[in-house]
Structure 1
Amino acid sequence: MQLAYSNDRLSSRMAADPSATGEPEAESSVIEWLLHDDQVMRECFTHAAEILKSVTGAAITAITLLDEEYQHYRAEVGMAMPLVTRARSLADYAVRDAELFVIEDAHDDNRFGECMLVQRYPFVRFYAAIALRAPNGEIVGALCAMDPSPGRLDAGQRGVFYHLRAMIENDLKMRTATAIDPLTQLYNRRFLLESIARRWKEAQDGDVMGSVVVDVDWFKQYNDTYGHPAGDSCLRKVASVMQAAADGEHIVAGRMGGEEFGLLVLQAECAALGDTLETLRQGVEELAIEQRASPLGVVTVSVGASLTRISEGSRLAHRDGLASADRALYRAKHGGRNQGTMA
């Protein structure tokens, strides 16, 4: 396996049923974080892929991340790889195996006869992958190697897959402990602010960022009435509404602290941002969580937001965006609560 490629794209498609894995999906906040924001894990992925290529001699090595719909390649070595649907990816098939998954020659395996990765350039015949898991045991993706020639792995090479998996999962465990709020499974305050600062710095002139602050109405009274365990359960349910919004849009969501949440909306527009505020407000109200201490009878939220067009003058002003959103939140709360207000 000596062939190497660069600056090319390929498609990996294979019919498979994701539900057949019997595995739960990874936390979407963890996948979002790995896809976009964590430089430390990016470096870990790159080192692992480079080591795997050196040891196996495979033409292409990579980390793949699997969300509900897609397979995303990260840290590709040997060839740039495209986004493909999860249901038609080799990685989705590979993570069904509890151990190392190896195809020595795809031409001799009828399961892969329709796979574009096999039938089209780079005509992969050898493929090996091992599942990667989040600290809670859920699958986030795979470490893989592939080549256009048939191949085998000796015992030493197989062992490297397991050692690299242990290294990646250990780094992932340490990083998630510092990035994810343990109660809500959203980003914590520090990581949310770091992520927002990075997104603003990387934005192009003319991009519009939406800053959003969400506060649970009368939450102290809720805790006093129902107790802190019920309060924790309430926050988890409210957080699920924040995460649902982040899953469907270009949104980064996190817990700022206590009953307050923050969101960054990428490529924001005024009308769409207003719709997002209403989606958040309505989504929490529709949870129908009883709240006897509220005049509304159910748990609700107040939402404030602001828009900032990125320029050289505003590139480092991400905190100003949140401060403006916070002032809008103040007006929403003093205007009766259970409403969204734009700055």
Structure 2
Amino acid sequence: MQLAYSNDRLASRMAVDSSASGEPEVESSVIEWLLHDDQVMRECFIHAAEILKSVTGAAITAITLLDEEYQHYRAEVGMSMPLVTRARSLADYAVRDAELFVIEDAHDDSRFRECMLVKRYPFVRFYAAIALRAPNGEIVGALCAMDPSPGKLDAGQRGVFYHLRAMIENDLKMRTATAIDPLTQLYNRRFLLETIARRWKEAQEGEVMGSVVVDVDWFKQYNDTYGHPAGDHCLRAVASVMQAAADGERIVVGRMGGEEFGLLVLRAESADLADTLNALRQGVEDLAIEHRASPLGVVTVSVGASLTRITESPRPAHRDGFASADSALYRSKHRGRNLVTMA
């Protein structure tokens, strides 16, 4: 694979299960995108939280994002909120309800005694939240208001929750249409490259950034042998392994085009990155997708990676990191494929 650069931007040739409750799982690519603070959605969240605080008079308002393990706060108004486990969050209860979820006094309900917000500061008693969904219907989090004193909502205040949800979900619909690759549900090429450039620029001096390129081995031959519908299914399966390897807010992953993918690893360490990428490579091999046109017999990937320490004089360019990763990918292919090579 050969990478080219133009206008300081990287250029390249380059399924949802149900939970026990019947609620679809969070779409990980949307959650990852939102956790990386998309600027447009961040501004939308802030406006919504400010409006909600003004209307309800609650001490704290916020957007919460829910992955499988944690509740993450975004756009808090009133105080900065800590990361808490999803199992001990109030939002986990709220998103089970199709309508507005209201707790007038948490002290009156034994279900909430172990919730972190109730047990510890700010000692929430009143809580109201409404679930937020991605365009495909999957829950991504909630819009919430909370207060250390008991409280109620009148009809007008309840209506504001619904109006703000409609505003947020409409913005999500427009933004995901431009950010997500429809086949793999990873970031698309344009959004990935914009995110890489921004996160690289925001990195502090001394931080180490990992640049990674991944290529599905003998993919043209796979399409020729099994047909394009099977090729699409293969790419979706490979993408799911890469998404699983993405470590919360530390790894950005997207489809560069065709069978080629890119990752940016924030605050990278050499040994950890090698372990992560070898687990990714092995995860694809473990899918055991038959590939008669490959000498390995199953679908595999080749990986190239490089590490760049950020300095301010002169500051290295993100394109240089990916050029080194691309050279390492070439060496993986030259050595027989299904390998990880560090530059």
TM-score by structure 2 length? Answer: 0.91
Q: Is 1:252 matched with 2:252?
A: yes
> Which shows bigger deviation, 293-302 or 104-113?
104-113
- Aligned CA RMSD, in angstroms, stands at 1.7
CA contact (8 A) 2:19 2:25 kept: no
Using the alignment, how far apart are the partners of 1:125 and 1:307 within structure 2? Answer: 48
- State the one-letter code of the partner of 1:167: M
Q: Is 1:185 matched with 2:191?
A: no
Find the residue that maps to 2:24 and give its secondary structure.
Answer: coil
CA contact (8 A) 2:88 2:114 kept: no
Aligned pairs for 1:89-168 within 5 A: 89-168=89-168
- State the one-letter code of the partner of 1:266: L
Partner of 1:5: none
Using the alignment, how far apart are the partners of 1:117 and 1:304 within structure 2? Answer: 44
CA contact (8 A) 2:223 2:230 kept: yes
Cα deviation, residue 108, structure 1: 2.8
CA contact (8 A) 1:213 1:326 kept: yes
The 1:51–1:337 alpha-carbon spacing in structure 2 relative to 1, beyond 3 Å, is: same
CA contact (8 A) 1:37 1:195 kept: no
What residue ranges of structure 1 are gaps of 5+ in the alignment?
1-17
Cα deviation, residue 106, structure 1: 2.2
Using the alignment, how far apart are the partners of 1:173 and 1:303 within structure 2? Answer: 33
Partner of 1:301: 301
Using the alignment, how far apart are the partners of 2:95 and 2:20 within structure 1? Answer: 11
Using the alignment, how far apart are the partners of 1:199 and 1:261 within structure 2? Answer: 18
Find the residue that maps to 1:24 and give its secondary structure.
Answer: coil
Cα deviation, residue 334, structure 1: 2.0
TM-score by structure 1 length? Answer: 0.91
> Deviation string for 1:211-249 (max 9, x for gaps)?
110111111111111100000001011111111110478
The 1:145–1:226 alpha-carbon spacing in structure 2 relative to 1, beyond 3 Å, is: same
Partner of 2:55: 55
Cα deviation, residue 292, structure 1: 1.2
- State the one-letter code of the partner of 1:102: V
The 1:314–1:25 alpha-carbon spacing in structure 2 relative to 1, beyond 3 Å, is: farther
Find the residue that maps to 1:341 and give its secondary structure.
Answer: strand
Find the residue that maps to 1:289 and give its secondary structure.
Answer: coil
> How much identity, in percent, do the aligned residues show?
90
Using the alignment, how far apart are the partners of 1:287 and 1:318 within structure 2? Answer: 32
What residue ranges of structure 2 are gaps of 5+ in the alignment?
1-17
Using the alignment, how far apart are the partners of 1:331 and 1:110 within structure 2? Answer: 60
Using the alignment, how far apart are the partners of 1:314 and 1:228 within structure 2? Answer: 46
CA contact (8 A) 1:200 1:316 kept: no
Using the alignment, how far apart are the partners of 1:105 and 1:162 within structure 2? Answer: 22
